[in-house]
């Protein structure tokens, strides 16, 4: 059994190399201009982080979602969103796309099946889909950084 670390193995690589964070901040800025509600983007971030087991990102995702008005009830149900009555069809489409795009190695055939894509495309235009896909990709990026350096949940970057 592994015990959680109190501190990371090293400083987050996105902070060690100064130009990395500049690029990441530009992606966040672009995502915020995509026309997707911050609540949906936070749900996407949280679900991808849950799948990848990134405690630091799950913690940050819950905090971010709460800042955007998410309820405890909905946040507790994100991991079981299919069985929970709390999510709209639009949110469900975003969460399903998140799972498919995060679990790309779990599928045979297309990583994102047509029915998953079509459901998302029924609810979101191309700019919105772009913002969601960027959030999924950036979350997976940070999940991999944080799990590699063992960033603890609740840690603050400085």
- Report the pLDDT value the prediction gives residue 156, as an integer from 0 to 100: 67
> What is the C-alpha to C-alpha distance for residues 26 and 18, in angstroms, rounded to an integer?
14
For residue 24, tell me if it sits in a domain. no
Mean pLDDT, the chain, integer:
94
Which tokens belong to 97?
């796309």
For residue 158, tell me if it sits in a domain. no
Kindly report the CATH number assigned to the domain that includes residue 58.
1.20.1290.10
How many domains is the chain built from? Answer: 1
Instruction: Please report which confidence band the pLDDT of residue 154 belongs to, taking 50, 70 and 90 as the band edges.
Output: confident
Cβ 116 vs Cβ 96: under 8 Å:
yes
> What is the C-alpha to C-alpha distance for residues 112 and 39, in angstroms, rounded to an integer?
23
Instruction: Please report which confidence band the pLDDT of residue 108 belongs to, taking 50, 70 and 90 as the band edges.
Output: confident
For residue 115, tell me if it sits in a domain. yes
φ, ψ for residue 146, nearest 5 deg: -70, -40
List pLDDT tens digits, range 31-68.
999 999 999 999 999 999 999 999 999 999 999 999 99
For residue 154, tell me if it sits in a domain. no
For residue 2, tell me if it sits in a domain. no
For residue 143, tell me if it sits in a domain. yes
Domain span holding position 64: 36-149
Q: How far is CA 117 from the centre of its chain?
A: 17
For residue 23, tell me if it sits in a domain. no
């Amino acid at each position: 059994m592994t015990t959680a670390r109190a501190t990371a193995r090293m400083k987050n690589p996105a902070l060690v190399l100064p130009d990395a964070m500049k690029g990441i901040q530009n992606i966040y800025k672009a995502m915020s201009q995509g026309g997707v509600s911050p609540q949906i983007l936070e749900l996407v971030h949280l679900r991808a982080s849950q799948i990848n087991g990134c405690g630091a990102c799950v913690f940050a995702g819950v905090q971010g979602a709460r800042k955007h008005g998410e309820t405890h009830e909905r946040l507790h149900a994100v991991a079981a969103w299919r069985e929970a009555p709390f999510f709209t069809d639009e949110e469900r489409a975003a969460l399903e796309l998140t799972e498919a795009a995060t679990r790309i190695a779990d599928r045979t055939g297309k990583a994102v099946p047509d029915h998953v894509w079509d459901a998302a495309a029924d609810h979101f235009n191309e700019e919105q889909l772009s913002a969601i896909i960027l959030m999924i990709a950036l979350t997976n990026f940070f999940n991999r950084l944080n799990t590699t350096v063992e960033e603890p949940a609740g840690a603050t970057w400085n």
